[in-house]
Chain A
Amino acid sequence: MASKRDLSNNLRPSSLWNDLNFLSILNSSSNKEENPDKDKSKVNDPSTDGQIKIVRNKHKPRISLARIRKMIKESSLNDEPSDEALFVIDKAVEIFIESLVSESYENVKLNNKRILTRRDVDVTIENIDSLGFLIGVLD
């Protein structure tokens, strides 16, 4: 049985996921002083070949901490997460979504499409080992 990474029809090894440059974008947001008043701004830098640079307030949670706290409580996982724990989870989910979307977008580019579909997401989940926990979970 061919390994997942050998499939040639529009699938390829997920280099972006392993590319730490992607995640270093998050670190570089602290050096951006141009738009201190904006929560986030999006810059398309032609020099990075269409790679997206995202600047955001890295000390501000985006997803409501109250919602995450509620999620954890409702699932009976724990009664007392610390505020810092909630913040880290919030940011981790943010990075998770960005990574999943960016990686899925690679597939969109490969197929010269302009829309990201469910199939692109499925393919990404199949290809990346660390996303194995999602297999069979999304219906």
Chain B
Amino acid sequence: MVERPEDLNLPNAVVTRIIKDSLPEGIAVSKEARSAIAKAASVFVLYTTSTALLVTQKNKKKTLTAQDVLLALKEIEFEKFVEPLEESLESYKKSQQNKKEQKAAKDKAKKADEEKSSSKAQEEPMEVQTTDGDKENTDD
């Protein structure tokens, strides 16, 4: 079932970073403590996910959704997490939406550019202006 042990673990660097950010300056963390916290976090992921899946299955769905996860957190006594998570989720949805819109606008602009340059190539080459006309304009 499990291919490699590291696949079931969260990236060490990120866990260490979060631990560090959660402590004031100058507080060290023992290797064993760090390892225990990382493992606890991994177990938390699996525990939360498996509970959430029960919710998914109860609703006769196939896809695990954010709502399933939030409900699961309430069931496993982590209800306090739900409100900040809902807020984070809202921000996330907005930022994803912005990204989508930006990409669509970019694609549109790119397409317009491409059309412009291809139609330009079909025009006859313009004659080069003489300098006389320019001199007139630079007086004053």
A interface residues (Cβ-Cβ under 8 A, vs B): 18, 20, 23, 26-27, 30, 40, 42, 44, 50, 52, 54, 56, 58-64, 67-68, 70-72, 74-78, 80-85, 87-89, 91-98, 100-102, 104-105, 108, 114-118, 120-122, 125, 129-131, 133-134, 137-139
CB–CB B94/A23 < 8 A: no
A89 interface neighbour in B11, B24, B29, B45, Cβ under 8 Å? B45
Beyond A85-B64, A87-B89, whether A23 also contacts B30 by CB under 8 A is no
Would you list which residues of chain B between 1 and 32 have a CB under 8 Å from chain A?
Answer: 1-4, 7-11, 14-15, 17-19, 21-30, 32
CB–CB B23/A105 < 8 A: yes
Q: Which residues of A contact B18 (CB under 8 A)?
A: 62, 94, 97-98, 101
B interface residues (Cβ-Cβ under 8 A, vs A): 1-4, 7-11, 14-15, 17-19, 21-30, 32-33, 36-37, 39-50, 52-53, 56, 62-66, 68-70, 73, 76-78, 80-81, 83-85, 87-89, 91-96
Most chain A CB atoms below 10 A, which of B17, B44, B96: B44
Min CB gap A15→B, angstroms:
13
CB–CB B21/A40 < 8 A: yes
In the bound assembly, the distance between CA atoms of A15 and B33 in angstroms comes to: 21
Most chain A CB atoms below 10 A, which of B18, B32, B41, B47: B18
In the bound assembly, the distance between CA atoms of A85 and B107 in angstroms comes to: 28
CB–CB B7/A70 < 8 A: yes
CB–CB B73/A92 < 8 A: yes
Min CB gap B62→A, angstroms:
6
Min CB gap A133→B, angstroms:
5
Beyond A84-B65, A97-B19, whether A121 also contacts B33 by CB under 8 A is yes
